[in-house]
Amino acid sequence: MFESRPDRGSEVVLVGRSNVGKSTLMRELTGHTFDTGQNPGVTRSPNHYDWTGPDFVLTDLPGFGFMKGVPDEVREQIKTDVVRYVERHAEEIIVGVLVVDGKAAVDIIDRHSGPDEIPHDVELFHFLREVGVEPVVAVNKMDKVDDEDERLNDLCDRLGLHPPWQQWQETIAPISAKRGNIDALSEAVRTHLHDAQRDDLFQFF
């Protein structure tokens, strides 16, 4: 079911856990409403949005991680499908936007850190780098966070980026997709598009 990708040479993907606001962010970027279920894990296949003209597609990949009422094997399969998709298209993907919940991300990472466990968000961040995709972490729902700098510094720390977060503005982008506040993400993504000599795609971010 992951084979429906439009034939485009350049791509930006959104990845992350369920319920972090990927679909809201996708709507903010495209002006297009996608079918999102009320229940986590409803999006099981990628949502692609391609514009007529530019050789470019924006893709919202299914959310993964814990989802109420979704069996473990289904969750694992979704994660495997996401990883395989990124591996298969790594050459075309200019930026991988890892969307996290600003209020909960550090706690979730800490809860899943242990000798035999790497938290999904940390694993995905390093995986994107390993396959040569520039990761940008869209730290969503920041309108609900009081201690913004502290939260973002803690997140950097968990991702292996030396705080303070302000020195990672090409990688860490605090946003509130629901409120339409995504400037930090646009700036970060444009930096990588520029490096890839794709300034023509600035219009989409």
pLDDT digits (tens, 9 = 90+) for 137-180: 999 999 999 999 999 999 999 999 999 999 999 999 999 999 99
Residue of 150, 165, 154 lying closest to 121 (CA atoms):
154
Range with lowest mean pLDDT among 33-47, 70-84, 154-168: 33-47
Give the position of tokens 């597609």: 57
- pLDDT for residue 38 is more than 70: no
**How far apart are alpha carbons 81 and 84 in whole angstroms?**
5
Answer whether residue 53 shows pLDDT above 90: no
Averaged pLDDT of the chain: 89
Q: Which residue has the tokens 């899943």?
A: 112
Residue 162 is encoded by which pair of tokens? 């030396």
> Percentage of the chain surpassing pLDDT 90?
65
How far is the C-alpha of 192 from the C-alpha of 201, rounded, in Å? Answer: 11
For residue 181, pLDDT beyond 90: yes
**Residue whose pair of structure tokens reads 């997709």 in the numeric block:** 177
Query: Alpha carbon of 56 to those of 8, 9, 11, 48: distances in Å?
Result: 5, 6, 5, 10
- Phi then psi for residue 4, to 5 deg, are -90, 15
Both tokens assigned to 51: 């514009």
Task: Kindly indicate the confidence band of residue 39, based on its pLDDT and cuts at 50, 70 and 90.
Answer: low
Domains and CATH numbers, the chain: 10-198 (3.40.50.300)
Element (H, E) at 191: helix 183-195
CA distance 77 to 169: 33
Can you give the pLDDT at residue 142? 96
User: Full-prediction pTM beyond 0.85?
Assistant: yes
CB atoms < 10 A from the CB of 180, how many? 10
Q: What is the pLDDT of residues 90-130, one digit of tens each?
A: 999 999 999 999 999 999 999 987 777 788 899 999 999 99
Q: What is the pLDDT of residue 70?
A: 78
Per-residue pLDDT, 2: 66
Percent of residues, the chain, with pLDDT higher than 70 = 93
